[in-house]
Copies of this chain bind each other. A is one copy, B any other.
Amino acid sequence: MLHVLVLFSLILSSSHALVQDFCVGDLKGPDGPAGFSCKPPSNLTVDDFVFTGLAKAGNTSNIISAAVTPAFVGQFPGVNGLGLSAARLDLAPGGVIPMHTHPGANELLSVLHGHITAGFIASDNSVYVTTLKKGEIMVFPQGLLHFQINAGKNGALALVTFSSPNPGLQILDFALFASNLPTKIVVKTTFLDEATVKKLKAVLGGTG
Residues of A within 8 A of B (CB): 1, 3-8, 10-12, 14-23, 27, 29-38, 41, 44-47, 49-52, 54-56, 58-59, 61-64, 66-76, 78-86, 88, 96, 98-99, 101-104, 106-108, 110, 112, 117, 119-130, 132-145, 147, 149, 159, 161-163, 166, 168-181, 185, 188-193, 196, 200, 203-205, 208
Contact = CB atoms under 8 A, between A and B. Distances in A.
Contacts of A142: 21, 82, 103-104, 143
B137 A168 contact: no
Q: Is the interface of A mostly helix, strand, loop or mixed?
A: mixed
Contact of A33 (B23, B51, B120, B159): B23
B37 A35 contact: no
Given A7-B64, A84-B161, A137-B71, A181 B79 contact: no
Contacts of A75: 14
A52 B93 CA distance: 24
A172 B119 CA distance: 15
A199 to B, nearest CB: 9
B62 A144 contact: no
Nearest to A130: B46
A192 B192 contact: yes
A79 B139 contact: yes
Contacts of A180: 127
